[in-house]
Amino acid sequence: MGDNLRIALTGTPGTGKSSLARIISENGIIVESLEEIAVRLSCIGDPEEDGVRPIDIDKLRGTLEEEWSERPQCNTIIEGHLSHHFQVDCIVILRCHPLILENRYRKRGYTLKKITENTEWEILGGPWNEINLEKSCIEFDSSKLTTQQIFEGFMSWIADGFKPMDASKVIDWVTRMDE
């Protein structure tokens, strides 16, 4: 990996970010949870009705960018479904077939509203709607690949110099829902 890079590990909740982050960390790369950073910097609210603690993105962005400018940067993965909103050099997006996500959410005990919102967000492309397309991005389909396979693809992407993925290969669940 190059020197002093910050990589966002993002995707709709339930796509496997935490599992991938665990393997990345076990392989000696620093991983920071965006939620843990928000807690540490007092940029997170009390749990809402669905149990989610809202992150004040604007406050966190300002506080985090100030903190990052004051300390030496090192290669770090920032894991969380909002991580692509921050000062990162490149972005890894995990995707998952909406029907598989729906089953994962049911097992987690999500409310019907939360299941619908998250599944619809995945169908619409999730982070692709919010990212800076000038940054190098790569996408992995966690409904077809194991976490280990995604990790190997991630490491290959690093070894290949973070080459941007071919935009024609971006997952489009709207036209591929039957796959």
pLDDT 10s digits, 93-150:
999 999 999 999 999 999 999 999 999 999 998 888 888 777 889 999 999 999 999 9
Helix, strand, coil percent values for the chain (each to nearest 5): 45, 15, 40
Q: Quick one: pLDDT at residue 78?
A: 93
* For residue 175, pLDDT beyond 70: yes
**Is the domain 6-176 a CATH 3.40.50.1010 member?**
no
Segment (H or E) for 6: strand 6-11
* DSSP label of 111: -
Asked if 101 and 119 touch (Cβ cutoff 8 Å), the reply is yes
pLDDT of residue 178: 57
**pLDDT over 80 (residue 43):** yes
Closest CA to 139 of 122, 159, 158, 153: 153
pLDDT at 5 over 90: no
* Helix boundaries (H) for the chain: 17-26, 34-40, 57-70, 98-108, 112-123, 147-159, 173-176
Q: Work out the mean pLDDT of the chain and round it to a whole number.
A: 88
Amino acid at site 68: W
Confidence class of residue 169 from pLDDT cuts 50, 70 and 90?
A: confident
Q: What are phi and psi of 64, to 5 degrees?
A: -70, -45
Closest CA to 11 of 178, 171, 176: 171
Look at residue 80 in the predicted model and tell me its pLDDT.
93
Q: Which pLDDT belongs to residue 67?
A: 76
Domains of the chain by residue range: 6-176
